[in-house]
Chain A
Amino acid sequence: MRDARNKPLASGRPATIAAFKDAALVGLATLGLGFPILAYRTEQNISNQLIIEPRWALAFSFAGLAFALRLAWLMTSAGRSSIPTWSMPVLSKRAGDTISRAGLGILLAYPFLALWITGPGGAIKWIDNFGIQILIYVMLGWGLNIVVGLAGLLDLGYVAFYAVGAYTTALLSTHFGLSFWLCLPLAGMFAALWGVLLGFPVLRLRGDYLAIVTLAFGEIIRLVLINWVDVTGGYAGISSIPRPTFFGIPFNATETGFAATFGLEFTPLHRLFFLFYLILALALLTNWVTIRLRRLPIGRAWEALREDEIAAKALGIDTVITKLTAFAIGAMFGGFAGAFIAARQAFISPEMFVFMESAVILAIVVLGGMGSQIGVAIAAIVMVGGTELLRELDWLKAIFGKDFDPTQYRMLLFGLAMVAIMIWKPRGLISNREPTIALGAKKSISSSLVREGHG
């Protein structure tokens, strides 16, 4: 396919014929790919026997679509030039700051905007499913960014620390009645401790191997959560986790509740507003700490480690301590996020901490552009928000029939988007590195010079 594209397509008939041939091949290949899996659907019949139903129309329409798209691609100018490249407009620092400030303003006003635009009924969805959900991933992305983006350590088991934070909060609050505000720092501490424990044995490993071992650790923790039923409740998880309070004042309709205390009319929105600002504060804390740390020796040592571990060692940097602090601090923020999710849902189970979560968080970091705070935030909004938006596409049922459920396609599209963004921008959306200090004006550093780390 690609070969044909790279050949300069001379104008005129032969080119058209070549394009047709190429597109026909693509269509045929698509048909081959779809042959049994699309063309037949397996179904359990009444006597519980597996039967197949042909669905050739679907297979042929996909093949036809592939043919048409390929042909269109080849015939338009896009196909004639070699790989198309778009580049993000490079923002000046001034513009970047303005955007950050505007973004912060929008975030602070967001729940009120949602309430104002969609009314109390719609606001729940927009604050909870979009606002809070996205912010959780922004926070997790920023936390993991310390490990992957700054220190260059590829961690595929980040969800383990999220789980540790969530279970710490759940267990401490249900068994010992500790309040959320006590559980939060403890969850961070425990997660950091686990970060060190799991980080220690893998220090020597590099690249993909490190990724796989961290994946294994993440899975081990999840499997232990499943099997250690006495403590964790197994698959059933832990429920009735106390909700966070407004510094001791609960969000309920009683006389001592939030609404009564502040003389407001009770509505569940109060709690949502509170949760929104809570996760926003936690995420901004993560961001602030990361930005600060980058300018401190430890942050520079992380980046030095990512650039060249051997050189860093030769400068007297203790790579063991440096890596462990990256693991610990990254894990701590994961733990905070875990504490938040436990309190938000009031229920947690091992199924919330599957490998897919780690993959999604890592994808957000890499798609955003490793090391770029704003890039990670954009990626979280696009990927999580985008898939959440699919829930809103009920009107598609009118086109594709009643059985069409757009939410089914959420993760399918998520996977495709990951592939597409990587091919489009292998170094992520914002790949330039901002220097941490400058004598004169800061100039951002082209991603081609920035290394990605070995370990």
Chain B
Amino acid sequence: MEQRGGTILAVEHLTMRFGGLLAVQDLSFSVERGQITALIGPNGAGKTTVFNCITGFYRPTQGRIALTNGTPLSRPLLDRLTGSSLRHLREGTNEVFLLERMAGHEITAKAHVARTFQNIRLFSGMTCLENLLVAQHNALTRASGYSVLGLIGAPSWRAAEARSIERASAWLERIGLIGRADDPAGDLPYGDQRRLEIARAMLTDPVLLCLDEPAAGLNPRESAALSALLRTIRDADGVSILLIEHDMSVVMEISDHIVVLEYGLKISDGSPESVRDDPKVIAAYLGVDDAEVAGAEAELDATVAGRST
């Protein structure tokens, strides 16, 4: 299937400014193909903002976001693309996209980056099955002859529709929701909605799947099931994953690579072990631990005492 290894997404010098607030500052990191990369950091660190830049919802103030489709990222090709005014460039099997130049829907449709949202955004008044059919919109639109074949009910359209329903059912089966296919998505319990949103994103045929806090609000059992699901997406579907997550048990268990943000700045980047042991991460993300707090307090007391004498 797809070639293993190599960079699939390169974020370089990404800066996002909202008025006076620098939500992301000069951030560079890369996502390797076939890996699960986690983006972690305290609340308000700018993680969702990075996602929004990658998926075209925000236009970055500065920086380059390159995605490759196929072989590992080819630097000369990327440089040629950057120099041009094009949005993507293809050369043989190499294809590079500059996501910061593309509109949101193109990023999904052409560059094949899919995402989920921190606050679930399912089509709550549509059934689970309908949600999964909407995800196949672009392929189905072509199959429906831009509605013409669909209107007259051409056999080729019927076949394509049947296939799309099959794919959707297969995913419903996989996430254990086949029994609720005809129920409105808004009626599902929280954990099921999270899984349905992932399935919906997967049905857009992504090469890179961006998940914004998929384990938020899940109980431990659901979290474990989620971890398993994400692993099969990586291993069986061959889709690379970029993951924002606060639940450290999930992050440490499934990530191949972790990037840590704080106040929009990258403070650490590496394997789960190296990040876990990084003192900066411990201080910033996990909070200063009790012993250290006690120590700092003692020091402070001493200073204050020293001054007053």
On whether A and B touch (CB less than 8 Å), the answer reads yes
Interface set of A (CB-CB < 8 Å, partner B): 289, 292-293, 295-298, 300-301, 303-304, 307-308, 310-319, 433, 435-443, 445-446, 449-451
Minimum Cβ distance to chain B for residue A65 (Å) = 42
Count of chain B residues with Cβ under 8 Å from any Cβ of A? 43
The residue that B137 contacts in the complex, of A295, A317, A438, A451, with Cβ under 8 A, is A317
Q: What is the 8 Å Cβ interface bit string for chain B, positions 52-72, against chain A (1 contact, 0 not)?
A: 000101000000000000000
The residue that A441 contacts in the complex, of B138, B169, B182, with Cβ under 8 A, is B182
* Bound CA span A435–B182, Å: 8
The answer to whether B57 and A310 touch across the interface, beta carbons within 8 angstroms, is yes
The answer to whether B105 and A451 touch across the interface, beta carbons within 8 angstroms, is no
- Chain A residue numbers with a CB within 8 Å of B124 are 307-308, 449-451
- Chain A residue numbers with a CB within 8 Å of B121 are 308, 310-311, 314
Residue ID in chain A nearest B203 by CB atoms: A315
B57, B114, B138, B165 interface centre (most CB from chain A within 10 Å): B138
The answer to whether A440 and B105 touch across the interface, beta carbons within 8 angstroms, is no
The answer to whether A318 and B105 touch across the interface, beta carbons within 8 angstroms, is yes
The answer to whether A307 and B123 touch across the interface, beta carbons within 8 angstroms, is yes
- Chain A residue numbers with a CB within 8 Å of B125 are 303, 307, 433, 445, 449-451
Residue ID in chain A nearest B205 by CB atoms: A316
B15 at interface by CB-CB < 8 Å: no
Minimum Cβ distance to chain A for residue B129 (Å) = 6
The answer to whether B129 and A439 touch across the interface, beta carbons within 8 angstroms, is yes
Q: What is the 8 Å Cβ interface bit string for chain B, positions 141-172, against chain A (1 contact, 0 not)?
A: 10010010011000000000000010001000
Residue ID in chain B nearest A439 by CB atoms: B181
Q: How many A-B residue pairs have CB under 8 A?
A: 133
The answer to whether B117 and A437 touch across the interface, beta carbons within 8 angstroms, is no
The answer to whether B127 and A304 touch across the interface, beta carbons within 8 angstroms, is no
- Chain A residue numbers with a CB within 8 Å of B201 are 314-315
The residue that A300 contacts in the complex, of B133, B181, B186, with Cβ under 8 A, is B133
Minimum Cβ distance to chain A for residue B204 (Å) = 6
The answer to whether A438 and B123 touch across the interface, beta carbons within 8 angstroms, is no
B265 at interface by CB-CB < 8 Å: no
With contacts A293-B147, A307-B123, A315-B108 taken as known, whether A442 is within 8 angstroms of B182 at the C-beta atoms is yes
* Bound CA span A316–B138, Å: 7
- Chain B residue numbers with a CB within 8 Å of A438 are 127, 129, 181-182
The answer to whether A437 and B187 touch across the interface, beta carbons within 8 angstroms, is no
10 contacts between A and B (CB under 8 A): A293-B151, A298-B144, A301-B141, A304-B123, A308-B121, A308-B123, A313-B57, A314-B121, A315-B137, A439-B178
**New contact pairs (5) apart from A304-B123, A307-B126, CB-CB < 8 Å:** A297-B141, A297-B144, A300-B130, A315-B114, A449-B124
Q: What is the 8 Å Cβ interface bit string for chain B, positions 102-124, against chain A (1 contact, 0 not)?
A: 00111011000011010001111
* Bound CA span A434–B134, Å: 16
Residue ID in chain B nearest A319 by CB atoms: B105
Minimum Cβ distance to chain B for residue A438 (Å) = 5
With contacts A292-B150, A446-B184 taken as known, whether A313 is within 8 angstroms of B105 at the C-beta atoms is yes
